[in-house]
Amino acid sequence: MKLQNFIILIIAQLVMGFNDNFTEKELWIEQKLDHFDENETRTWQMRYSESDTFYKPGGPILINVNGEWPLAVKSELCGMFYELVEKFNAYAFQTEHRYYGKSHPVQNLTTENLQYLTMKQALADLAHFVRHQKSSVPGLANSKVIILGCSYAGSIVTYFRKDYPELIDGGWSSCAGLYYRLDYSDALVSVGKSIRKIGGDVCYDQVNHFTKAYLKHKKANDETYTLLQQLNLTVEYNNMDETIATHVQHRNISMFQKICSNITAVDSNDIVEFGLVLQHLRSKIPEVGNKDDIEFSEDHSTRQYFYQTCNEFGNFQSTSSQHQPFGNRKPFSSLIAQCKKEFGPKFTIDYINKKVDEINALYGGTQPNVDHIYFTKAEDDPWRWAGIVDECATVIPGIAHCHDLRARSPNDPPALAAAKQKGFELIESWINGGGTTRETLTKC
């Protein structure tokens, strides 16, 4: 069974047509395997990118932090980063998270080897990175440091300000998960609501209808089910929640409306045709590996992220609620049981519960109480309900997960344009040493 991983970003394949003069160098920095054990002397090479194309002496350091995906230079997903670099004549870096992309602290992904994959270690990697660049690149010693990140990387930006406030003057945390619980069934409830809101009752009802029809044929193991098996469509139906949720999370409203047109165009008796629509939709999602892949592969992240889910984050996106259109095909108990299966007997529900409580107690959950961070959320993003309280964020309608960190465009709806503008202005004030206005001091 492939694992639910709809948190994972759709990686932009296209290199954007940003300023051609801009060059980003791929470089490596030595990091400790374990920052918290003085007796552990092993080290590894972390990948990052660097650019001084727009840098002018006195300019700030701008870092785009990556999360559970490979570092991608000139990706349209971080268009805002490039705009900020140019506008503020910044020295630019992007960092890759340990265990993802090409940043391999260990040889493979056995449970034993995964023990150094923790958010605390990743935060310490970033701290060493900032200290190292400030001390080794001439002129950067006193530069202001601004850090951007979205999704899991947005959580890192937030916690970096809490754990290492002396190393970051301001940050933009987009669509970050900050509240951890065991059963995050609200994610698929939210997906259902978004389907209804964007595609109408007719789209929601159609998804619900084919869920029921499929589960009925599967249970009966009848001719229709055999036909679906022969056509390789059972895999599409089994992954249906993840496929549709991924599109809800990552596509803007007009794209998802088109998807709903395809969904609703299918005759309600044509279970094969609906399977083909699902197949088409799944083909648009990048392959990010399986939870049992022991070997590293640059664009595989499922196993690593699943480990973090079992060891730190919880937030299992179960189908435990009835208020969603995918049936109860992924009950919470079956999802959590996979932690033990993949990583060993230690990963019981009690263990995960304890870890989730710890991280909430440490960082404050939906109220992290941190200053100099600009929080944005996407209104229809299933991760909204694991984020900071809405009152402390700019909640942007009409966009998908992380889209506020794309470049500004004349097509941006007014609320999106205003949210981006606010981010620009806050960053400008932090670069200029601001921090006394109410906006920048607000702690949430």
Three-state secondary-structure class, residue 374? strand
> Of the two residues 178 and 260, which places its CB atom closer to ligand NAG in the complex?
260
Shortest gap between Cβ of 168 and ligand NAG (angstroms)? 27
- Smallest Cα–Cα separation from 163: which of 201, 132, 125? 125
Cα separations in angstroms, 366 against 63, 172, 392, 422, 432: 24, 16, 9, 22, 29
Shortest gap between Cβ of 145 and ligand NAG (angstroms)? 25
- Smallest Cα–Cα separation from 91: which of 4, 22, 173, 181? 22
Shortest gap between Cβ of 350 and ligand NAG (angstroms)? 26
Shortest gap between Cβ of 414 and ligand NAG (angstroms)? 12
Shortest gap between Cβ of 74 and ligand NAG (angstroms)? 14
> Of the two residues 323 and 341, which places its CB atom closer to ligand NAG in the complex?
341
> Of the two residues 231 and 441, which places its CB atom closer to ligand NAG in the complex?
231
Three-state secondary-structure class, residue 23? coil
> Of the two residues 14 and 361, which places its CB atom closer to ligand NAG in the complex?
14
Cα–Cα distance for residue pair 7/313, rounded to 1 Å = 12
Shortest gap between Cβ of 386 and ligand NAG (angstroms)? 24
> Of the two residues 37 and 222, which places its CB atom closer to ligand NAG in the complex?
37
- Smallest Cα–Cα separation from 370: which of 67, 164, 77, 92? 164
> Of the two residues 110 and 421, which places its CB atom closer to ligand NAG in the complex?
110
Cα–Cα distance for residue pair 244/326, rounded to 1 Å = 10
Cα separations in angstroms, 21 against 24, 248, 273: 10, 35, 48
Q: Are strands 43-51 and 91-95 parallel, antiparallel or unpaired?
A: antiparallel
Structure tokens at 393: 């964020």
Contacting residues toward ligand NAG, per CB under 6 A: 19-21, 37-39, 106-108, 110, 113, 231-232, 252, 254-255, 258-259, 262, 280, 294, 411
Cα–Cα distance for residue pair 130/46, rounded to 1 Å = 13
Three-state secondary-structure class, residue 421? helix
> Of the two residues 8 and 65, which places its CB atom closer to ligand NAG in the complex?
8
| Tokens 């020295």 -> residue | 91
Helices 240-250 and 186-199: angle between axes, nearest 10 degrees: 70
Shortest gap between Cβ of 430 and ligand NAG (angstroms)? 26
Shortest gap between Cβ of 200 and ligand NAG (angstroms)? 16
With vertex at residue 358, the alpha carbon angle to CA 355 and CA 364, rounded to the nearest 5 degrees, is 135
Cα–Cα distance for residue pair 362/356, rounded to 1 Å = 10
Shortest gap between Cβ of 441 and ligand NAG (angstroms)? 33
> Of the two residues 241 and 404, which places its CB atom closer to ligand NAG in the complex?
404
> Of the two residues 19 and 360, which places its CB atom closer to ligand NAG in the complex?
19
